[in-house]
Amino acid sequence: MSPGHVAGNAEALLRLAIWARTGVPTPMCADREQRAAEIESSAAELEDAPAALDAPTWRAEVRSALGRTIPAAEIPWMRVPEVWLHAIDLASGTAFADLPARLTDTLPDDVTATLSTRAPPARRSVSPRPTAPMTLPPCL
């Protein structure tokens, strides 16, 4: 991960705030190529976006990159783990022990809830030898 990844996430979340404010569907990203190109962009606009949202727009529904329909009020929370977790994987000297207790208490439930909305992966067959197929159980 790079600092650009964190900034790119800011731009994607900004689009959700725009969607909430205008009602015009504005996905986090159109495709992986767009996402990759935006990894080098800035997070500055995200700081101003919440001020443009009033009470009704904070309740507006938008769709996350994972396809979840969420109220715009979740946008700031989506930013919190993005910044903290990448502070760890960017080798900034931050460790999991440095994360705020509220984050470490909330994040596992949030991740579990998100993953539980996904369809289970398809069963896959692998064959170590062409004549002996083996079916693996689905996994997360």
Neighbours of 30 (CB within 10 A): 9
pLDDT per position as a tens digit, 67-107 = 889 999 998 888 888 888 888 887 788 888 999 999 899 88
Query: What CATH number is given to the structural domain containing 112?
Result: 1.20.120.450
Q: CA 35, CA 51: separation in Å to the nearest integer? A: 25
Q: What is the per-residue pLDDT for 58?
A: 93
- Would residue 28 count as lying in a domain? yes
Q: 57 is written with which tokens?
A: 């727009």
Of 35 and 40, more confident: 35
**pTM of this prediction exceeds 0.85:** no
Banded pLDDT at 44 (limits 50, 70, 90): low
- Would residue 136 count as lying in a domain? no
Of 112 and 19, more confident: 19
Q: CA 126, CA 132: separation in Å to the nearest integer? A: 9
- Would residue 29 count as lying in a domain? yes
HSE (CB half, 13 Å, CA atoms) of 64?
Answer: 17
Residue 97 lies in domain: 3-116
Banded pLDDT at 46 (limits 50, 70, 90): low
Share of the chain residues as helix, strand and coil, in percent rounded to the nearest 5? 55, 10, 35
Domain count for the chain: 1
- Would residue 128 count as lying in a domain? no
